[in-house]
Amino acid sequence: MEKVKIRIQKISRILMIICRIARVIMFVSIGVVAVLLIGACFSDEIMQHARNILQQEEFVAGVLSGLRDNKILGKVSLRTIVIVSGLIHILSRLVFVLYLNLFKNLLEYIANGDKPFTVKNAKRIRRISYTMLILIFYTPLIAVTLFFVMLFFSYLFEYGAFLQDEADETNRIQEEMIVSFAEITENKSEQTGKHVKRVAEYSKILAAEMGLDGEQISQIYLASMMHDIGKLLIDAQILEKPGRLTDEEYTEIKKHSGYGGELLKSVEGDVMKLAKTIALEHHERVDGNGYPEGKSGEDISMAGKIVAVADVYDALTSKRSYKEAWEDSRAYDEIVKGSGTQFDAEVVEVFKRAYDKINAVRLQFADEK
């Protein structure tokens, strides 16, 4: 799905370039005709050149043919005909520029990952549709047909805006559910403090530094809050045990990733599905020695790789009942040392570049002592 979205965005950018080139051509054409019209007011020779050029324009030729059929052509001067023809040419080009601008703006929404289906865009299409009636002077059938087609598209966009609002409401409910579950998970063990919040903030920074678009960054930020949801099914005595865990207790703790996947396996919505992926993969390693499934390399999602770094860094720099918080420099070195084995090398490079931002977040949301 993501590859399709990226492909559509690339195509949209190419079409935007074509629209810009076509718009430049239209303005050049308008400029040339405007100069000819000014010249035609003072020179018969220029007026003849202007007439020959304008008659090659299908739209203008159609209008002139209509004037001829109605015996109007012989009743006015040639200069007047040339000027009127030139103004018609300019008007038709301006209508075309309006459509190019509309098309370019819609493509820009898509290329930037924004939502083109809005009430504002629907009204814009509706307003521009009325300009098609300009063509009614020489092609009534085409003019009326295009007018109703554009009008239909305007209402289609308005309906799309309604559906988008419904989808946004669904996303809002998902977000509220995620935040609620994150708070429940965090409250299960009093020693986790603001761990969920910090991991989400670190993940957002890493995702942004990797060049992901705004929607992907927002989804990773929200979904990462549920990375430890499986701990709801872990005995609180193990989670809060002072001192080191036994091998059996550590094995039980490791099950929280699988539990998280089970809890979220039937969820609907993009963010919740991503939350399931992160819950399952945030303890996987790129060398295949992680858990619960022993995934490696490209089999691990980018979101899983990002949250893996964020989660471990915060675990290292946080105080737990069985350990003191590490110095941030020591935790930094540990993340860097794990590049290409425990962690994805690309994510680690991004972590290094964005470390000042990450450390600032660590201090901002530090646990109360």
Task: Please report the pLDDT score of residue 350 as a whole number.
Answer: 97
Task: Please report the pLDDT score of residue 137 as a whole number.
Answer: 55
pLDDT tens for each residue of 247-275: 898 889 899 999 988 988 887 778 889 99
Q: Position of tokens 């660590």? A: 362
| Structure-block tokens of residue 255 | 């099950």
Task: Please report the pLDDT score of residue 145 as a whole number.
Answer: 81
What is the architecture, at CATH level 2, of domain 189-364?
Answer: Orthogonal Bundle (1.10)
Q: Which residues are catalytic?
A: 231
Q: DSSP letters of 40-60?
A: HTT-HHHHHHHHHHHHTSHHH
Residues of the chain with pLDDT under 70: 1-4, 54-78, 113, 134-139, 187-193, 369
Q: DSSP letters of 186-212?
A: HHHSGGGTTHHHHHHHHHHHHHHHTT-
Domain coordinates in residue numbering, the chain:
1-114, 116-170, 189-364
CA within 13 Å, CB half, 61: 6
